[in-house]
Amino acid sequence: MTRTRLIFGVLASTAFMLGAQVATAEDDPKFKETARLYDTYCAQCHGVSRNGKGVNTVGLSVQPRDHSDPVGMASLPREQMVKAIRDGGASVNKSALMPAWSSVFTDQQIEQMADYLGHVCKCAKPN
């Protein structure tokens, strides 16, 4: 396990244990596993409420995207979301601080994460 993944896991666990209100997929069980992946790997920066206000954002010059924002998220092409998840933020001219997740997530999990983000913002686009 890389040091970064270990740190992300510890921070996510800490936030969960402190009783943070996590945006869950209880209303749509098909996203249960993807929501768990988000909580483990994404919430540290994008926030447990999916609002871009995670514990790792203090002092960042570029704040992470608010995945709960329907207007901002609806403006993103799905392909751009998939590429950002797969290849990192720099691959879509966004923050180089967002890592590439292709070595952690399968292609199917990346596609499901893009679908989940559409669910979170309530702006899902057909794929």
- Distance CA(58)–CA(37), nearest Å, equals 22
Residue 125 inside a domain? The answer is no
Is residue 105 assigned to a domain? yes
pLDDT at 49: 96
Q: Is residue 127 one of the residues assigned to a domain?
A: no
* pLDDT of res. 100: 98
How many of the other CB atoms lie within 10 Å of CB of 47?
Answer: 23
CA distance 124 to 127: 9
pLDDT at 3: 55
What's the confidence (pLDDT) of residue 124?
Answer: 80
Q: What is the pLDDT along the chain (127 residues), one digit of tens a residue?
A: 555 554 555 444 444 443 344 445 556 789 999 999 999 999 999 999 999 999 999 988 899 999 999 999 999 999 999 999 999 999 999 999 999 999 999 999 999 999 999 999 998 865 5
Q: Which domain holds residue 107?
A: 3-120
The Cα–Cα gap between 39 and 43 comes to: 5
55, part of any domain: yes
CB 12 within 8 Å of CB 35: no
Number of domains comprising the chain: 1
Distance from C-alpha of 119 to C-alpha of 26, rounded to nearest angstrom: 12
The predicted model scores a pTM of 0.78
What CATH number does the domain containing 78 carry? 1.10.760.10
